[in-house]
């Protein structure tokens, strides 16, 4: 059994806690964290439901086998939380956990309620929030109280971008002294190893049939707004004379059926390739002409850094958080372009209108769609610009390398 003071390696015992292993970006970043920490810590990857882990990970996997009860009443759901708290408390004591790092609200709550491990020890509790709170949820009193509770009983509340930290302080009343910004990281060595792998036969055929391929990777959910990509492709083919352009959308989720309908509406079935979740997205990125991001909001969109690591130039709408910090790091992070900005590491375009919460717009007449189309067209047709971004892509990606980010985590764990 691994102990924190084990003379064999004298490493800290660190638990990385998440709801499941097959969700979206937060779950993937939790899995990435286990890979990054493995060299320096004894890592325990704790999942409430580990029945389907789709992301590469490291350390000892501990599946609590307590999945969510989404359709149950409040009493049963509270009972489920209590089971998770009891199970995690046992894990902390059994493995003498020195630091417990939880990702997303549900895991954060259980992490706090399960305590600090054995008597006489103090397991550090670190909570991680992966979005911009006021656009991900309302600023209602219950939400404000919840985040203040998480911050009060965590040693540190980690935000993945500067706008998220400012929002949490200004709109939710979380004390700034409890907040820290630590960017997510990309495993650049792994990406380099995987990006030139052989494509599946149908994907190889798709790339061969299209001179230019646009790409996007992410969970198919409303906030990602991948239907804008289909509209973009249609505009490029019909209005810009780019009939040899195709689109790849990697990922899966509840919006897949709607996306399929939109693709059929524009008669683009032969020109949009959606293989679902894939083990290696990097071999698709490395063969694509442009990575396009048009979400309503993100926390820190790591797909942009992964595309950079694959030498795939990016065009992103200048959403409230994340994209500017990656593509235009020397500019004021709170700035937003009103049209098209040729930034240091990619092109930023006017953000789409987004009222917040579940109030998703139809984009009818939104000029942001036109600016996105113009920016992608410019990236595809201006060879000097595109090659310049390709040349700087690894410089962009290195800012989010494990070597740089893990140092910050190790300092936090050791405090």
For residue 1, what pLDDT is reported?
41
Confirm whether 12-185+401-414 and 188-398 share one CATH topology.
yes
With contact defined as beta carbons under 8 Å apart, do 191 and 306 qualify? yes
Question: For every residue of 182-227, which 3-state class applies, written as one string?
Answer: CCCCCCHHHHHHHCCCCCCHHHHHHHHHCCEEEEEECCCCHHHCCH
Distance CA 303, CA 178 (A): 28
For residue 415, what pLDDT is reported?
82
Q: How many CB atoms lie within 10 A of CB 76?
A: 10
Distance CA 301, CA 306 (A): 9
With contact defined as beta carbons under 8 Å apart, do 173 and 194 qualify? no
At the topology level, CATH places domain 188-398 in: Rossmann fold (3.40.50)
The residue among 315, 129, 152 whose CA lies nearest residue 232 is: 315
For residue 35, what pLDDT is reported?
92
Sign of the Cα pseudo-torsion (258, 262, 265, 271, in order) = negative
For residue 355, what pLDDT is reported?
56
For residue 69, what pLDDT is reported?
87
Residue ranges covered by each domain of the chain: 12-185+401-414, 188-398
For residue 7, what pLDDT is reported?
34
Mean pLDDT, consecutive 10-residue segments, the chain of 415 residues?
A: 49 96 84 93 97 91 93 90 97 96 96 84 91 76 92 95 91 93 91 96 98 96 94 96 97 95 97 95 98 92 95 95 92 91 98 63 76 98 97 94 93 91
Supply the DSSP symbol for 131.
S
State whether CATH 3.40.50.2000 applies to domain 12-185+401-414: yes
For residue 3, what pLDDT is reported?
44
Q: Let me know if 334 is exposed, middle or buried by CB neighbors in 10 A (0-12, 13-18, 19+).
A: exposed
């Amino acid at each position: 059994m691994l102990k924190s003071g084990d003379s064999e390696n004298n490493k800290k015992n660190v638990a990385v806690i998440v709801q499941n292993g097959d969700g979206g970006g937060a779950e993937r970043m939790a899995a990435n964290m286990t890979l990054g920490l493995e060299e320096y810590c004894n890592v325990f990857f704790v999942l409430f439901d580990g029945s389907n882990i789709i992301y590469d990970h490291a350390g000892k996997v501990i599946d609590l086998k307590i999945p969510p009860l989404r359709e149950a009443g409040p009493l049963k759901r509270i009972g489920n939380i209590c089971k998770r708290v009891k199970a995690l408390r046992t894990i902390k004591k059994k493995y003498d956990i020195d630091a417990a790092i939880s990702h997303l609200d549900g895991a954060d709550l259980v992490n706090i309620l399960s305590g600090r491990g054995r008597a006489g020890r103090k397991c550090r509790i670190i909570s991680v929030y992966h979005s911009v709170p006021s656009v991900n949820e309302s600023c209602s009193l219950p939400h404000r109280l919840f985040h203040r509770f998480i911050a009060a009983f965590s040693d540190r509340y980690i935000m993945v971008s500067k706008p998220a930290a400012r929002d949490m302080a200004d709109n939710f009343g979380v004390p700034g002294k409890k907040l820290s910004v630590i960017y997510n990281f990309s495993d650049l060595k792994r990406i380099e190893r995987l990006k030139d792998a052989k494509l599946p036969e149908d994907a190889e055929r798709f790339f061969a049939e299209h001179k230019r391929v646009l790409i996007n990777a992410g969970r198919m959910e409303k906030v990602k707004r991948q239907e804008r990509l289909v509209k973009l492709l249609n505009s490029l083919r019909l209005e810009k004379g780019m009939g040899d352009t195709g689109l790849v959308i990697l990922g899966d989720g509840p919006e897949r059926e709607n996306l399929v309908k939109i693709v059929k509406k524009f008669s683009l079935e032969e020109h949009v390739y959606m293989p679902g979740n894939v083990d290696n997205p990097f071999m698709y990125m490395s063969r694509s002409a442009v990575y396009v991001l048009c979400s309503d909001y993100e926390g820190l969109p790591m797909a942009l850094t992964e595309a950079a690591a694959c030498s795939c130039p990016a065009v992103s709408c200048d959403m409230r958080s994340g994209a500017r910090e990656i593509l235009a790091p020397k500019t004021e992070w709170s700035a937003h372009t009103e049209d098209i900005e040729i930034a240091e590491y990619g092109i930023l375009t006017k953000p789409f209108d987004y009222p917040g919460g579940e109030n998703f717009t139809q984009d009818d007449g939104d000029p942001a769609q036109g600016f996105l189309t113009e920016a992608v067209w410019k990236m595809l047709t201006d060879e000097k610009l595109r090659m310049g971004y390709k040349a700087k892509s690894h410089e962009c990606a290195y800012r989010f390398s494990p070597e740089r980010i893990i140092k910050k985590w190790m300092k936090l764990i050791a405090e």
